[in-house]
Amino acid sequence: MSFRFLHLADLHLETCYGGRDSTRQRLREATAEAFRAAVALAVERRLDAVLVAGDSFDDPLLSRRGERLFLGGLRDLVEEGIEVVIACGNHDPGGRGKRMAHLGLGEADDWRGRVHLLRTARPKVITIRGQDGEPLGAVAGAGHANDREEKNLLSAFHPLDKDLPVVGLLHTQVHAARGATSHAAYAPCTREDLLRLDYDYYALGHVHLRQQPFEDVPAWYCGNLQGRNPRELGDKGGLVVELEARAAVTPEFVPLAPVVWERCEVADLASCHTRQELAEHLLAAVRRSVAERSGREVILRLEISGPCPAAPSLRTEEEREAFEEELADEGGALEVELRATGLYRPRDLEALRSTPSVIREALELIEGAHADPALLSQLRPKELASAEHEDETAYLAGLLEGLTEELLSRSLEDPA
C-alpha cells in the first residue's frame, strides 16, 4: 500500500506585502485562499497526510484572524483523519516564547494534540497510519528552535531500515539548489547529506523555487504557497506525492495560488510614435499575459526596451503610474509595473558622428578603444592597473559594453 501525502512549505500566512494598498490586501486574501484550497485538496483526494516544511507564517506578524485561519485548516484535516506533520522554519521557530510554541499543537488535550509539531533540532520519527490503524509510512523530521538556525540539522538524522516508505521533512538550504543564494543559509545541507540517509523522499522548504535540486536524489522543494514578489513568478502550490518504499517517485504539482506574478518583455516599439500607439501596443501585451493565465489573477511586470519615438510619454513617475493604472484596468490585470530603463528615443548615430560635438568625440573614443588594444590599455582606469586578469584586453573591452548607450542616454537626457 502506498503512502499518499501533500507536501507544502513556506505558506507565509499574513505576509506584509509591498505595492499598492489594494494589491497588498488582495495578496493577503490570496494567501489565505491558497491555504484553504490546500486543505480542501487533501480532503477531496483522501490523502493520508499533509507535511509542512516550515514557515507556515511570519512569527511576530500572525494576527488573531490569521491564527484562526491556520488552526481552523489544521482542525479540518485532523477531523478528516488526515495526519499533519509541521516542521518549524526560520520564520515560525518553535523555541520557547515563540508564537508557534503557544498554539498548543502536539500538546493540547483536544484535536491540536493530534498534530505532530517538530519544534527543535532533535530529529523525530513519526509513523503515519491509515484510517484502519495500519502503518503507511514514516516521517523523519526536525524544526528550527530559533530564527537563525545555522547548524546542519540533517547531520543528526539517521538512516531508517524499514519496510515502510520514509520521508525526510526539513526547512533547509540545500547547497547548489537553484535560487538558494537568495535565501539565508539556515540549516544548510548538501547532496551528500541526503544521499547518506537514502530516504525515499525529502519534503523540503525554505527555497521558494519549486525544483528537484539533484536528479539522482528524491528531494523536492515544493516552492511557496503564494508568490510574494516579482521574483517569484508563475504558478505556486503544493506537491501531491504517492510513495512506496524503495521505489522511484514523481510528485504531482497542484497549483493553489489564485494570484500569479508574471514578467513580459516588450522591445518592438519602434513604430509607436504617439502615447496612444504606445498604450495600445503595451495593452495588447498585457491582455496576452492575462489570457495565458486563465483562471488566475495576474500581477505583471512589463520590461520595455529598445528604440521608441514615444519614449517621452514615460518621462515622469506620475506619467508612468498613469500608464500602469490604465494598462491594469483595461488589460484585466490586478496590477501592472512598468520597467522602462532600456527604452530610448531613436537616434541618428551617423548624424551624431558627423556633427562636431562632445558626443561625437566621445563616440569616436569608445569606438577607437574597441578597435585598438593599445588605446584601450592607455585608457585603463588607474585603480585597475594592478589587477590581474588572464586576458586583460578582453576584460577591459568588456567594460566598454553598453557604454555607447549610456553616453547617449545621459548626454541627450533621454527621459526613460
> Who's near 99: CB < 8 A, 6+ residues apart?
57, 59, 60, 62, 92
The pLDDT of residue 383 is 62
| Residue range 298-347, pLDDT digits in tens | 999 999 999 999 999 998 899 999 999 999 999 999 999 999 988 888 87
Q: Range with the lowest mean pLDDT among 77-86, 242-251, 357-366?
A: 357-366
pLDDT at 59 over 80: no
Q: Report DSSP state, residue 224.
A: -
| Residue range 167-208, pLDDT digits in tens | 999 999 999 899 888 888 999 999 999 999 999 999 999 999
Domains of the chain: 3-257 (3.60.21.10), 260-344 (no CATH), 349-411 (no CATH)
pLDDT, the chain, mean: 90
> Who's near 266: CB < 8 A, 6+ residues apart?
281, 282, 285, 302, 303, 304, 305
What is the helix (H) or strand (E) element at residue 96, kind and residue range?
A: none
What is the helix (H) or strand (E) element at residue 252, kind and residue range?
A: strand 252-255
| Residue range 101-129, pLDDT digits in tens | 999 999 999 999 999 999 999 999 999 99
Provide the grid cell at 329: 484596468
The pLDDT of residue 386 is 47
How far CA 305 is from CA of 100, 232, 341, 343, in Å, comes to 47, 22, 7, 4
pLDDT at 390 over 50: yes
Q: What percent of the chain has a predicted confidence (pLDDT) above 70?
A: 92
Which pLDDT band holds residue 247 (cuts at 50, 70, 90)?
very high
Among 65, 64, 69, residue whose Cα is nearest residue 11: 69
The residue among 21 and 299 whose pLDDT is bigger is 299
Q: If you average pLDDT over residues 26-44, what whole number do you get?
A: 97
Q: Using CA atoms, how far apart are residues 140 and 168, in angstroms rounded to an integer?
A: 5
Q: Residue 388 burial by CB count (10 A; 0-12/13-18/19+): exposed, middle or buried? A: exposed
Which pLDDT band holds residue 348 (cuts at 50, 70, 90)?
low
Displacement of CA 41 from its chain's centroid (Å):
22
Among 289, 346, 282, residue whose Cα is nearest residue 320: 282
In the chain, the largest separation of any two C-alpha atoms, in whole Å, equals 89
The residue among 58 and 144 whose pLDDT is bigger is 144
Q: Residue 90 burial by CB count (10 A; 0-12/13-18/19+): exposed, middle or buried? A: buried
**How many Cβ atoms are within 10 Å of 307's Cβ, its own excluded?**
16
Please check whether residue 278 is in contact with residue 286, taking contact to mean a CB–CB distance below 8 angstroms: no
The pLDDT of residue 100 is 95
The residue among 203 and 14 whose pLDDT is bigger is 203
The pLDDT of residue 415 is 43
The pLDDT of residue 414 is 47
| Residue range 334-347, pLDDT digits in tens | 999 999 988 888 87
Which pLDDT band holds residue 416 (cuts at 50, 70, 90)?
very low
Among 170, 223, 165, 222, residue whose Cα is nearest residue 193: 170
Q: Residue 370 burial by CB count (10 A; 0-12/13-18/19+): exposed, middle or buried? A: middle
Q: What percent of the chain has a predicted confidence (pLDDT) above 90?
A: 73
| Residue range 260-295, pLDDT digits in tens | 999 999 999 999 999 999 999 999 999 999 999 988
The pLDDT of residue 296 is 94
Please check whether residue 140 is in contact with residue 166, taking contact to mean a CB–CB distance below 8 angstroms: yes
Strongest mean pLDDT among 217-221, 307-311, 364-368, 378-382: 217-221
Q: Using CA atoms, how far apart are residues 414 and 405, in angstroms rounded to an integer?
A: 10
